[in-house]
Amino acid sequence: MSAPLGVTDVTVRLGGEVILNGVTLDVRRGEFLALIGPSGGGKSTLLRVLAGLLRPEAGTVHVSTPPALVFQDYRLLPWRSALRNVQLPADLRAGGGLEAHEALKMVGMEAYGPYFPAQLSGGMRARVALARALAQSGDVLLLDEPFAALDALVRERFNAELRHLHEKTGRTTVLVTHSIREAVWLADRVAVLRGGQIVEVLDTRGEGRVSAYTDGLEAHLRAVLGTGDSTRLRVEGRGARSLSWLLPALAVGVALALWQGVAATLKQPFLLPTPGAVWREAVRTAPALLAAFGVTVRTALLGTLIGALLGMLIGYPLAKWRALERFLSPFIVASQSTPIVVLAPLLVSWLGFGFLPAVVVSALSALYPMLVSTLVGVRELEGTFHELFSTLRATPWQRLTRLELPGALPVMLGGLRLAASLALIGAVVWEFVDPNQKGLGLTVQVAGVYQNKAAQFAAIALLVGYGVLVYALITGLERRVMRRQGR
């Protein structure tokens, strides 16, 4: 077969219904073919067969070069900039077309490479999706109504640019569209698909192209309206720096004032010391407090790291295989329902006292939130992105590192925030059990024995400070990631 793209007697059945019935169609090298027909007629199904996303029940598919598919919803990865979206085929070793910068330049988007999809208008996203396809394949482009969501003026401008692009590159192109006028003006041939069969193929070069957008009242209205513009950013200019930190600061100030007032009224330092007394005690015992703080933080950080890694390693396969989740669900629920302090005697008998069991308790405390967040984050990732990676012939490792982990990152950061807090609690709980762990938990115990409430409050303040700092750092990172993704 000399044609670079085609199907012979292809039949596709979905959900028991025949969508394509004995379809035969060849696309000539360098040709622009449009597929039109009523909704549900099988146009997108035929395109997905050509792209390799659907395997026909019968018939043969001939594709000389892996094609690039531009989806109707564009499917730009929200965590990648425009330039890095266009670089995706090369990153996955699926590139065979233009270099990313050149592809962006060809569609007029070279100035917007650093912008993220959430910062771009619909027309600009369409350009980036087209540029990614140009970077993926040097021979065959498949377009599934890529401009259907655009307004009429912008769509006409894109049609003119697409026609010019085809004339310039000579790529074999197949366009699915509902617009008869668009098909006639753009294509060399138009194939009509109805009831799952090709009912007619028309040559549309010549007269149809010349007259499509240039006759009568329509031409006058187009002249009055002017050319559609799709290069308008959705983001607004930067304003003044956010002052949202004032409310938490005000809340802390009010709490300290109330604390001071209640403590001064009670005049019982053995029950509630004043903030000033706590500060003076902290300064007096600073070396010992900081040493204890270091012990607790070291345990909590290592526990957070180990628990988070284990949660991800367990949560990912559970997200991919629901049968495995159902099989392990009794153990997962049981582990979460068992208070960690109940395990302390067992850990003492198995591991003794010291740093190792302290880290184990901290890690076990952090494991469940990361397991759940990984499971939810990976499952919430849209299946449409997996289809995109299928067209790019990505390996499982590439899907994991370039799609699933980046896509699940906002949810996983939320789990990490909770995991870090629970890891700190686990570390302190073990310090109440193990006298060899001379951290802040032991400091609080010893101060209680000597009725030194100021020392207890100073140790608790350090624990709270660490928890707030870690929470703020993870929350800041989470907001940055979500802002880039337009959430």
SS3 151: coil
317 or 383, which is more confident: 317
Q: Which CATH superfamily is domain 285-484 in?
A: MetI-like (1.10.3720.10)
> One-letter amino acid identity for 461?
A
pLDDT tens track for 9-31: 999 998 888 889 999 999 989 89
- What would the mean pLDDT of 270-294 be, rounded to a whole number? 88
How is the chain split into domains, by residue range?
5-225, 285-484
**What is the model's pLDDT at position 435?**
81
CB distance 361 to 425 below 8 Å: no
**What's the per-residue H, E or C state across 41-89?**
CCHHHHHHHHHCCCCCCEEEEEECCCCEEECCCCCCCCCCCHHHHHCHH
The pLDDT confidence band at residue 206, using thresholds 50, 70 and 90, is low
Measure Cα distances from 273 to 269, 312, 416 in Å: 4, 43, 34
Nearest CA among 45, 128, 126 for reference residue 87: 128
DSSP state of 353: S
pLDDT tens track for 94-126: 777 889 999 998 888 999 999 999 889 888 898
Nearest CA among 352, 325, 406, 370 for reference residue 80: 406
Phi, psi angle pair for 74, to nearest 5°:
70, -45
Q: How far apart are alpha carbons 462 and 459 in whole angstroms? A: 5
Q: What is the DSSP string of 271-320?
A: T---HHHHHHHHHHTHHHHHHHHHHHHHHHHHHHHHHHHHHHHHHHHHHH
Q: How far apart are alpha carbons 90 and 80 in whole angstroms? A: 14
Beta strands in 222-288 (DSSP E): none
CATH number of 5-225: 3.40.50.300
pLDDT tens track for 362-400: 999 999 999 999 999 999 887 789 989 988 889 999 999
H or E stretch at 194 = strand 189-194
Structure tokens at 59: 């018939």
Measure Cα distances from 4 to 1, 140, 190, 198, 384 in Å: 8, 8, 17, 19, 27
Q: How far apart are alpha carbons 487 and 478 in whole angstroms? A: 11
